[in-house]
Amino acid sequence: MTSNEQNATPDLVIVGAGLFGLTIAQQAVEKLGVNVTIIDIRDHIGGNAYSYMDPETGAEIHKYGAHLFHTSNQRVWDYVNRFTKFTNYVHRVYATHNGEVFPLPINLGTINQFFRANYTPAQAKALIDEQAGELAGTDPASLNDQGISLIGRPLYEAFIKNYTAKQWQTDPSELPASIIKRLPVRFNYNNRYFKDTWEGLPADGYTAWLERMIDDPRITVQLETDFFDETQPLNKKALMAAGVPIVYTGPVDRYFDYDLGELKWRTVDFKEVRYDEGDHFGCAVMNFSDSDVPYTRAIEFKNFNPERADLQNPNKTVVWEEYSRFADRDDEPYYPINTEEDKALYAQYKAKAEAEPNVVFGGRLGTYAYYDMDQVLNQALVSYEKQVEPLLKK
Q: Do 370 and 179 touch, CB atoms closer than 8 A?
A: no
Q: How far is CA 336 from CA 29, 175, 263, 304, in A?
A: 32, 15, 8, 27
* Residue 372 known to be catalytic: yes
Which one from 226, 262, 372, 389 is the annotated catalytic residue? Answer: 372
Q: Which residues contact 52 (CB under 8 A, 6 or more apart)?
A: 60, 61, 63, 207
Which one from 50, 163, 218, 297 is the annotated catalytic residue? Answer: 297
Q: In angstroms, how far is the first alpha carbon of the chain from the final one?
A: 27
Please give the Cα distance from 89 to 199 (Å, whole number): 7
**Cα 149 to chain center, whole Å?**
28
DSSP assignment of 52-85 equals: EE-TTT--EEETTS---EEE--HHHHHHHTTT--
**Cα 120 to chain center, whole Å?**
35
Which one from 78, 116, 139, 182 is the annotated catalytic residue? Answer: 182
Which one from 54, 145, 186, 368 is the annotated catalytic residue? Answer: 186
Per the DSSP assignment, residues forming a β-bridge with 93 are 104, 285
Which one from 82, 224, 370, 385 is the annotated catalytic residue? Answer: 370
Which one from 193, 266, 349, 384 is the annotated catalytic residue? Answer: 266
Q: Which residues contact 28 (CB under 8 A, 6 or more apart)?
A: 11, 12, 34, 36, 384, 388, 389, 392
* Residue 186 known to be catalytic: yes
Q: Which residues contact 120 (CB under 8 A, 6 or more apart)?
A: none
DSSP-derived secondary structure letter, 176? B
Which one from 253, 300, 322, 374 is the annotated catalytic residue? Answer: 322
Q: Do 241 and 324 touch, CB atoms closer than 8 A?
A: no
Please give the Cα distance from 257 to 36 (Å, whole number): 25
Residue 205, judged by CB atoms within 10 A of its CB (0-12, 13-18, 19+), counts as buried
Please give the Cα distance from 128 to 250 (Å, whole number): 43
Please give the Cα distance from 72 to 91 (Å, whole number): 15
**Residue 42, H or E segment:** none
CB count in 10 Å sphere of residue 357:
9
* Residue 182 known to be catalytic: yes
Q: Which residues are catalytic?
A: 182, 186, 266, 297, 322, 370, 372
